[in-house]
Structure 1
């Protein structure tokens, strides 16, 4: 039997235990000792090896009353059997680790402000440290897209700022992680940037606002409600889909923006942050996820919910 014959043999017709029996006998070169190591009696072991040889169509051992030794085909098959068993053990180990949440992928959709919230950044850092073999796939995703991704199973976790709990399907839930004040981002050279203390929305009525796309819910909907309560009609200016673009437009003097307070951690020389004085100028960070998350996602959810 040459290597081409062995490579072409389909291992699916035999059980892995036949390979383990063969390897043990090949290493011991003694059926009695191999049977003892395997915890079975010798006759069934001999029978299983003969069945394996019949399936392969070759003799793997030369047997005599005095000794057992591998044939040339058996020597070659031993290397392949060991490699197959090693791969099977790796596959079994990977499956078990995935079931335990120690291996796999967690897809997270969020608005970038969520990453700067202390509970989120701390949980992600600890998860990465404790679960290095789980890949975190993090993307900037609108609230509407988070809902769609959760429903489609392409997202495991969503994170969004909103005054009220986002609407979700019956298989999902929203957990409030933290509450944050709202802050105003202004160009560093603007007259209002030179003052200190909270800033009222009324002071911003004549300035354009740089903002994310309006989707009828979430943080921007909260801002519209805040302006209505203050009796101020916002001048909706330049729209930006990414945080870096939004702050760049503010720094360039194209307007102001209102953001969750954790983004104050983005200290830029060209942007000034001031708190809002108006009542109700706050938002909540919500954790969105299915009631029955996948194992790795469940581990991250536990860290996020622990705060």
Structure 2
């Protein structure tokens, strides 16, 4: 087993799709699928249930996902522990949270290839809270995270935003609707990934739902794909971005509706963040990032 196998496994688990994981990793789908098969043979267990539309992590995959993610993050952070040397290749570590659009990632990589061909770009996918911690520690140079960042040690720049949608099961009474009032969902609990992953987004969602009388909460501890069975069965609802993101991707081809709601002015924001005391990133970084906006 090699670290790359764990990196591939984490990407597929988080994206719930071989094609999206392959795009994120910058490789073709077929070799990615073969490497996952190799890992499954070595471990002696199936890690994913595969069907035509999506892949779902098995119980075995969920049991090892956090540890595998931690191993990959620790390996990615090794370079930052080395003393600088004249012959060392310049590297920038870019972190991306789950709801960041593929387009934003692609535009950044293209801009860096054009303007800084000397840089080796390493990507680190993670949720918002761990990424902010990694930026402050210096393990990540630049991160795309969700929600507003209020920390004087960090510089931030708004990059993109998208409307939010309610995800509710077909057959739950909204099939003929073009929109929904959040108060109409008060009989269902809200299911979501643990709040520690993205505290600002969690607080915003909690305040929004509380204003509409929705008290039930059903947190999930592992991946976005784990939200799917409960929502598809009509036992809960969740929220996702209208246009892109890991939560939205997890529900593609599922028997659910993505509906705008009465507070449609609410949007999911992505911000670029980096340490304010990092002059080595260059004064041209804000200008480069602005060119990467949609």
Q: How many residues align?
A: 201
Structure 2 portions without partners, runs of 5+: 1-84
Aligned to 2:22: none
CA contact (8 A) 1:123 1:304 kept: no
Structure 2 counterpart of 1:184, from 157, 166, 170? 166
| C-alpha deviation, 1:221, in angstroms | 0.6
Q: Distance in 2 between matches of 1:252 and 1:138?
A: 33
Q: Deviations over 1:251-288 (max 9, x none)?
A: 35442111232337636111321112226422322221
TM-score in terms of structure 2 length: 0.57
In the alignment, structure 1 residue 278 sits paired with structure 2 residue 263: yes
Pick closer, same or farther for the CA change 1:300–1:126 going to 2, 3 Å. farther
Larger Rg: 1
Which residue in the other structure is 2:81 paired with? Answer: none
1:151-190 aligned at under 5 Å gives the runs: 151-162=136-147, 165-168=148-151, 170-190=152-172
Q: Which residue of 1 aligns with 2:188?
A: 207
- Show CA shifts across 1:209-260 (max 9, x none): 1102124831111111212333x13310142442233345433544211123
- Deviation for aligned residue 1:205: 0.6
TM (norm. structure 1) is: 0.55
Q: Distance in 2 between matches of 1:283 and 1:259?
A: 9
Q: CA RMSD in A?
A: 3.2
Give the Å deviation of 1:132.
9.0
C-alpha separation between the residues in 2 aligned to 1:249 and 1:279? 24
User: 3-state SS of the aligned residue for 1:186?
Assistant: strand
What CA distance in whole angstroms lies between the structure 1 residues aligned with 2:218 and 2:243? 23
Q: 1:250 to 1:293 in 2, by over 3 A?
A: farther
Unmatched runs of 5 consecutive residues or more in structure 1: 1-90
Q: Which is richer in helix?
A: 1
The aligned counterpart of 1:106 is 93
Match of 1:121 among 105, 108, 120: 105
Trace 1:85-96 onto structure 2 (pairs within 5 A): 95=88
